[in-house]
Amino acid sequence: MNAGIIIFILTYIIIGIQNIPKIHINRTAGALLGAVGMVFFGVLSVNEAYLAIDLDIILFVLGMMIIIAYMELSGFFEVIERMILKRARSASGLLFFLIISSGIASSFFMNDTLCLLFTPLVLRIVKKANLNPVPYLIGLATSSNIGSTMTVIGNPQNMLIGLYSKIHFLEFWKILAPVSISGLIINFLLIRFIYRKDIANRTININFDDTVVTIQKRLFIASLIALILLVIFLCLGYSPQNVAIVLACFLILVGADKPRRALEEVDWPLLLFFSGLFIVMKGVEKSGITNSIFNYVRMYLSDGKFSQIVNLSIGSTILSNIISNVPAVILFSHFFTSLANSRLAWLTLAMSSTLAGNLTIIGSVANIIVFESAKDEIKVGFFEYFRVGLPLTIITIFIGIVILYILV
């Protein structure tokens, strides 16, 4: 038990703190070291470590990544984004279209990937329009987090929650879509107010004619078909992992000359990160730590519907900003099976752990991707972001609590 506690604490310190002086170990390496430590120090056997890895989740995430990779190669994302952004006629309109489009797109594609694709495009657009890029970059990062809240395929933690909880795709969407839509509107109003000197009363005319978008017609059509089928089959209740990997194979067959390029776009470190965390948490479970923690927090998760939502939202917000939202979800998942209303707990966790990512500039991987990708052109400071992130997180989580209390 002592070995399990020490390995667990060290692993989560490495995961939560990325800039330890003279120690260059990222989240994936930290999770892998923790997994190996659980086996090396006898907390788990090798076979127990193998069995701890949830292959359904790994398969689902892998399938989604392959689908997204082919959509990127086809030119799908750039075409859709330009169709929307071309309609902006003012700085305020551009911000609105950016927030709404990236928020909705994030509900169908992992928000991390979406931010990676859209950040360069946003920088080019605001440069052509001679606008301050900061509110638009903040809008992209925050709206991708908010939008991804509404579906089980919007971000990695929701994928975990969807497979753990077995909540139907449509049911998940029906309850959390109002949270996301309300949050996107609040996000627009808040950023527009804070950056009103840069946005208010400014007209723009963006010319896209000098940049050609390369379309792979066959892949584009196949990607569109795959997206439609993905939503249909998930709505019909088919197994998410089976749907994702079958449609991924369909795109591999259609784009037979590009499988290597697509597979290079897969975030393999994220899959390894998941696998390592599964093993670490299995070691934690076997050592009895989770039972001890659960006995302590049980009263806070069972003391009435409203108290459960509020306490879990506060707890997951704090934990998600300390150790990141994916590890927080895996940790909380061990507490939910014996709860009287586990469905409410899962939905609350999906809402709060995702919206908590907007609190600080390093609160989510999506935030880090946006601001690291843009750092050569513009640097956004911690407090520059925080003046949007703090009120946005408080307001959106409050709205989420109210909506969950009413609908669940």
Give the max Cα distance, the chain: 65
What is the rounded distance in angstroms from the CA atom of residue 29 to the CA atom of residue 235? Answer: 36
Q: What is the pLDDT of residue 144?
A: 95
Asked, for residue 29, whether it belongs to a domain, the answer is yes
Mean pLDDT of 144-156: 93
Helix or strand (DSSP H, E) at 103: helix 91-106
User: For residue 7, what is the enclosing H or E element?
Assistant: helix 2-16
Position 238 in a domain? no
Give 287 or 49, the one with higher predicted confidence. 49
Query: What does the pLDDT read at residue 82?
Result: 72
pLDDT exceeds cutoff 60 at 255: yes
The candidate with the shortest Cα–Cα distance to 366, out of 116, 131, 132, is 116
Domain containing 18 equals 2-52+76-213+267-407
- As for how many domains the chain has, the answer is 1
Evaluate whether residue 240 is within a structural domain: no
β-strand partners of 90: 203
Range of weakest confidence among 106-120, 225-239, 388-402: 106-120
Percent of the chain with pLDDT over 70: 89
Confidence of residue 109 (pLDDT cuts 50, 70, 90): confident
- Looking at the DSSP bridge assignments, the partners of residue 203 are 90
Contact 177, 400 (CB under 8 A): no
Structure-token match 């009287």, residue found? 340
In a domain, 67, yes or no: no
- What long-range pairs does 13-22 form, CB within 8 A, spacing at least 24? 15/323, 15/324, 15/327, 16/322, 16/323, 16/324, 18/362
Q: Judge contact between 294 and 334, C-beta under 8 A.
A: yes
pLDDT tens digits, one per residue of 316-346: 888 887 767 887 888 788 777 767 778 999 9
* Rounded Cα gap, residues 37 and 283, in angstroms: 10
What's the chain's Rg over C-alpha atoms?
21
Report the alpha-carbon distance of residue 156 to residue 87 in Å, rounded. 31
Is the residue at 57 inside a domain? no
- In eight-state DSSP terms, residue 160 is H
Is the predicted pLDDT of residue 290 greater than 70, yes or no? no
Q: Where are the beta strands (DSSP E) in 168-210?
A: none
Q: Has residue 300 been placed in a domain? A: yes
Spatial distance between the Cα atoms of 333 and 346, rounded to a whole number of angstroms: 8
Where is pLDDT greater, at 374 or 143? Answer: 143
Beta bridge partners of 46: none
Q: Is the pLDDT of residue 110 over 60?
A: yes
**60 within domain boundaries:** no
| Strand, coil or helix: 42 | coil
In eight-state DSSP terms, residue 203 is B
pLDDT at 57 over 90: no
Residues 6+ apart with CB under 8 A from 51: none
Q: Is the pLDDT of residue 88 over 80?
A: no
Q: What is the pLDDT of residue 211?
A: 57
Q: Which of 355, 15, 76, 13 is nearest to 222 (CA)?
A: 76
pLDDT > 90 in the chain, percent: 33
Contact 208, 82 (CB under 8 A): yes
Read off the tokens for 381.
């400071």
Mean pLDDT to the nearest integer, 94-113: 88
Is 321 a member of any domain?
yes
